[in-house]
Amino acid sequence: MAVSESDFLFISNLLYERLGIRLEKEKGYLVESRLAKVAERAGVGDLGRLVLLLKTKHPPEEVINDTLEAMTTNETFFFRDTAPFEALKEKVLPVLIAKKKSEKAIHIWSAACSTGQEAYSIALTLREAFPHLSDWNIRITGTDVAGKVVAKAKEGVFNQSEINRGISPPMLAKYFTRSDENWKLRDEIRNMVQFRTMNLKNDWPSMARMDIIFLRNVLIYMDNESRKTIFGRAHRLLQSHGFLFLGAAETTFNISDLFKRADWKGAGCFQPL
Ligand SMILES: C[S@@+](CC[C@H](N)C(=O)[O-])C[C@H]1O[C@@H](n2cnc3c(N)ncnc32)[C@H](O)[C@@H]1O
């Protein structure tokens, strides 16, 4: 790899300590390609000098954050994998609506929400399939460690190729308006979600108990120790009747015995034990 072994080691340790993300040796090319721009923005020219800056006693916090954010993978799209959102509509929400009909409140968290498509897919599912819940207190929270993606999520503006990945023409017509070349989500959906930054690796701030947690496609970048800690925290935060959604290739099996898999094909849905 073109990046030196010691620079790679320094960046991968930083990533693990701060975010819980494990960077495999074969991913050396990612360090080089993604951090070239960070070095440029920091005004140091190249990766070697960026690492020297990060090794100083008090490296600028914004350069650390820029480095960490550049190393995250923010791939996401609307209604990703379909099955979780089908399970949400057909199984999970009907159960919760029946259970909470006197309280009329449902709290949903999209942890590691990237640019917001996951949280907005939840909001769109609710609005489309359960329009009668308008007098309920439905709180959807989207969080991600990367400030840049959270800022984009808050805007709720998506380009054509982002729209093409998951938004049907009728849904586009109903819930989006043109904004120059892009599409902006209508306020009725945007206002259903609150976004903020949060690092899953650090102690979690106090949050309302959740009925549903989407924790999808982030633990794949972590090791089993970090996954186990995060499953433990998710278990404490989730109501005993709650639901945890993981990514299609993810599981709690052999990592945490706090959850059992719900029996819905491909939904990646787990329930607390
Ligand atoms: C691949 S995206 C997944 C987005 C969405 N959940 C989905 O499944 O489409 C992974 C996201 O995890 C975020 N992430 C990585 N490490 C994190 C951490 N320690 N705490 C919170 N978010 C983190 C990244 O910034 C990135 O946006």
Whether 153 lines ligand 1, by a CB cut-off of 6 Å, is: no
Interval between CA 114 and ligand 1 midpoint (Å): 6
**H and E: helices and strands count for the chain:** 12, 10
Characterize 44-71 residue by residue with b for buried, 16 or more Cβ atoms within 10 angstroms of its Cβ, and e for exposed. beebeebbebbeeeebeeebebbbbbbb
Interval between CA 142 and ligand 1 midpoint (Å): 11
pTM of the model: 0.96
Nearest residue (CA) to ligand 1, atom 13: 112
Kindly list the structural domains of the chain, giving each domain's residue range(s) and its CATH number in brackets, ordered by start.
5-71 (1.10.155.10), 83-272 (3.40.50.150)
Q: What is the pLDDT of residues 207-237, one digit of tens each?
A: 999 999 999 999 999 999 999 999 999 999 9
pLDDT at 1 > cutoff 70: no
Average pLDDT, integer, range 268-273: 98
**CA nearest neighbour of 196 among 154, 138, 244:** 154
Predicted local confidence at residue 31, as pLDDT: 92
